[in-house]
Amino acid sequence: MISPVRRKLALLPLVLLPLGTVAACGGEGSKTDCGARSCTITFDRGVDANASILGVKAELIGVDGRSVTLKVAGQRITVPVGENEQADGFDVSVQSVTKDQVVVKIANNG
């Protein structure tokens, strides 16, 4: 039989895991929603928007029509809305573009 103290100690890492994931994401002019292998970033347009996710920095460089230019892990890429591109071991897709925001999903493909 496992004592109540040992049971609580065994559960502690599972309780703290979501907090570690949230702490690993963040930036300026952006909101992030991260899981273990991917993050969805909502960049604000008209500001210097960036986010630190999955151990790399992602920056919104600009929008030209329905194509978005980003810098992910130091690599500059242009991704049309609804399509994917690769950047330094990451799959990058643009989910939507509005006059106020750009929503991008970045997944670690390694």
DSSP per residue, 13-74? HHHHHHHHHHHT-EEESEEEEE-SSEEEEEEETTS--EEEETTEEEEEEEEETTEEEEEETT
The pTM of the full predicted model, rounded to 2 decimals, is: 0.76
Percentage of residues of the chain with pLDDT beyond 90: 68
pLDDT digits (tens, 9 = 90+) for 23-52: 457 788 999 999 989 999 999 999 999 999
Q: What pLDDT score was predicted for residue 17?
A: 46
pLDDT higher than 60, residue 8: no
pLDDT of residue 65: 93
Mean pLDDT score of the chain: 84
